[in-house]
Amino acid sequence: MLNINPETVLSALDNSTRFRCVLLLLKHGELCVCELTHVIGASQPNISRNLAQLREAGLVTDRREGQWIYYQIPPDLPEWVIRMLQAVALGSEKTEPFQSDHKTLAAMPGRPGANRCA
């Protein structure tokens, strides 16, 4: 199990882009950088920089598959962090931009697994 302190978690989530990425990953399991870029509407370097900060904080892990880099919530994240993220996700699921994020992802053409990312 990862040893993460509350200040590190809250500091990492104190940014809209990082917060949205974490909530998307919590709901959808594993997502490619291109999916997060499409949903959030930020540039790839911006999303990648924010994901790197989340990775440094221990809130996400990544893996490479061909040209794609996929991110997910680590399976060994402490239970208190998971419970906190789940509570926040539940409380925000019917608010914007979080509600639209899931719809945008579902409608994304060319998601990984197809021939190419958008």
Residue 107 falls inside a structural domain? no
Residue 30 falls inside a structural domain? yes
- Residue 116: pLDDT above 50? no
- 30 falls in which pLDDT band (50, 70, 90)? very high
Residue 51 falls inside a structural domain? yes
Residue 32 falls inside a structural domain? yes
Residue 50 falls inside a structural domain? yes
**Percentage of the chain exceeding pLDDT 70:** 93
Count of domains observed in the chain: 1
pLDDT in tens, 51-88: 999 999 999 999 998 888 999 999 999 999 999 999 99
**At 10, which CATH number?**
1.10.10.10
Residue 114 falls inside a structural domain? no
- Residue 118: pLDDT above 60? no
Residue 1 falls inside a structural domain? no
How high is the pLDDT of residue 110?
Answer: 82
- Residue 42: pLDDT above 90? yes
C-alpha span between 13 and 111 (Å, rounded): 26
Four-point Cα dihedral 23, 26, 29, 30, nearest 10: 40
Report the SS3 class of residue 63: strand
Residue 118 falls inside a structural domain? no
C-alpha span between 102 and 118 (Å, rounded): 16
C-alpha span between 5 and 63 (Å, rounded): 24
Structural domain of 15: 6-100
